[in-house]
Amino acid sequence: MQSQNKLNKLIKLALVATTLTASNILPIIAGAIPSAQAVSVTAKRADSFTDSVCVNTHFGYGDTPYGSQYNTVKQKLVELGVGHIRDGGTQSYVIDRFKDLAAAGIKTTYIMSPTAGVAPDSSYWVNGTYYQINDLIKNKIGTNVVDAVEIANEIDFNYGQYYWHKGDTAKLNNNSASPLYWVSYIRSLTKDTWNALKSDPATAGITVIAPSLGRTYNYGNKSPLGDLSSVVDWGNVHSYPFGGNPFNNPFAYNTLAKYYYDGNFPSVNIDENPYIFDVYGGPFGSKPIAATETGYYTTSTARGVSETVHGKYMPRLFLEYFRKGIVRTCSYEFLNEWNQPSNSEANFGLLRNDLTPKPAYTALKNLLGSLKDPATNAKTFTPTALDYTLTVTPPTGYNRTQYVHSTLLQKATGTFYLVLWHEISNNDITVTPARTITPPAMPTKVTLTTPIRSATLSTWDDAGNRTESSVAISNKTVSVNVTDKVTILKLTP
């Protein structure tokens, strides 16, 4: 399922529009940036960000803590504050855990897998017990447990395993005229899944997420899926940023000779050089996108990051994807599957194998805790606008002030949360282990036209801990040092 080695996977699918924030309009010049006219930015609901956060789990893996220490894993999920997991399987004990987590407020994005016996129609070949997908959801798992169904996991990366039942596997895998060629298969599976779920009143409200791809394509050989926009609610992306982005014009910055080539920052493939949008977006038209796998592994091997860098990157990753319009982002994954320090696949977790928190877990828990909105109308109120200007005075050598990113959120009480971060690479991936880069802070002034009664600043340290303090508003301006970790300016009208 999700356990393929991620070393060969850089990016997969996406197509979204850029969200306008004040940081999008900052002019790019060396030295101080002159004050600009205030921009009116309509906030997004804070709940819409926290609801976008998801983690991958493997509750069917009995030889990992998912299987052997479920109660502690559940406790850690609840403490994290996450509202969604991504997983699959039809074993009774796995389904019981999905139900148990739903009772605690954590819904499942369910991955279909033909080899696990899940298919929308009996004409699809299966291995094991057969279930029709709408019957499986409504009668075996529960429509209050599953809120989204993902068609299949990395079908192009794994499709050979689906041809076990007949014929010359090698020939079938490579013969595009064959009815079992994976493109024909997945298009048919997607259409039939859509029809099965949407034609049943009990499951019509389940979100249908497009199949994910596992191989790396390029501008000359774009996504082969064809148009699926009429048979999915959301597109899909498996966008791993740890491999850099070679599809751009290289330039020197931040001590790197080829910045996008040699960096591994969270937005490396989705912002200024949006490779995944360009190459993988076509099949989904204007439909929203989910990122059902993304993340980093914490090893000293090739493309691994340190736990400290991981702690900086993961909160920024969720914010970057949300800023670009991605509606659900699932970190791969919740915990280290095994205690194998040099195995990349075993070290993607927010938790270590002994279930102690990495800095990324602590940082994300504190971020979600700060932004979670307990109001009964948190999902339905209409956010308002904040008039403000960001003015950045960059240190020498860091004149790309557009890398000060921001997202404006609001809770139902009316309080604004201006989330700021320096979207910059903390690694040079041309060497192994990766060289650590510690960029300077970006001094930033937030000038407010909207009347604000009080301001509070939350900052994060390298361990993921949050510190909150009141800050002065002087001449309608708040001064903030924006770092490579998340900062939140809480503004009470």
Asked if the 385-492 domain carries CATH number 3.30.420, the reply is no
Fold (topology level) of 47-371: TIM Barrel (3.20.20)
Tell me the mean pLDDT in the region 139-166. 76
State the average pLDDT over residues 9-22: 33
At 256-271, the pLDDT tens digits run: 999 999 999 999 999 9
C-alpha distances in angstroms, 448 versus 334, 418, 453, 472?
Answer: 39, 12, 11, 12
Q: How confident is residue 222, by pLDDT bands cut at 50, 70 and 90?
A: confident
Distance CA 182, CA 213 (A): 11
Look up residue 110 and give its DSSP letter.
E
Instruction: Using CB atoms within 10 Å of the CB of residue 17, give its burial: 0 to 12 exposed, 13 to 18 middle, 19+ buried.
Output: exposed
What's residue 210's pLDDT? 96
pLDDT at 221 over 90: no
Residue 305, classified by CB atoms within 10 Å of its CB into exposed (0-12), middle (13-18) or buried (19+), is buried
Is pLDDT larger for residue 306 or for residue 35? Answer: 306
3-state secondary structure of 420: strand
Residue 482 confidence (pLDDT) above 90? yes
Q: At what angle do helices 359-371 and 307-323 cross, to 10 degrees?
A: 40
Q: Counting every residue, how long is the chain?
A: 493
Q: What is the mean pLDDT of residues 168-188?
A: 60
Cα 341 to Cα 30, 255, 303, 362, 426, distances in angstroms: 43, 28, 14, 20, 21
Give yes or no for residue 124 having a pLDDT over 80. Answer: no
Q: Is 448 in contact with 478 (CB distance < 8 Å)?
A: yes
Chain segment 361-398, per-residue pLDDT in tens:
999 999 999 999 999 999 999 999 999 999 999 999 99
Per-residue pLDDT of 397-436, as tens digits, reads 999 999 999 999 999 999 999 999 999 999 999 999 999 9
Distance of CA 186 to the CA centre of its chain: 23
Predicted local confidence at residue 189, as pLDDT: 84
User: Is residue 484's pLDDT more than 80?
Assistant: yes
Confidence of residue 30 (pLDDT cuts 50, 70, 90): very low
**Structural domain boundaries of the chain?**
47-371, 385-492
**350 SS3 class:** coil
Q: Which residues contact 32 (CB under 8 A, 6 or more apart)?
A: 391, 393
What number is the average pLDDT over the span 279-306?
94
Provide the pLDDT for residue 345: 95
The per-residue pLDDT of the chain, averaged, comes to 86
Question: What is the rounded distance in angstroms from the CA atom of residue 414 to the CA atom of residue 14?
Answer: 32
pLDDT at 312 over 90: yes
Whole-model pTM over 0.85: yes
- The 3-state DSSP class for residue 132 equals strand
pLDDT computed for residue 126 by the predictor: 43
Distance in angstroms (rounded) separating the CA atoms of residues 70 and 450:
48
pLDDT at 6 over 80: no
Helices and strands, number each (H, E), in the chain: 12, 22
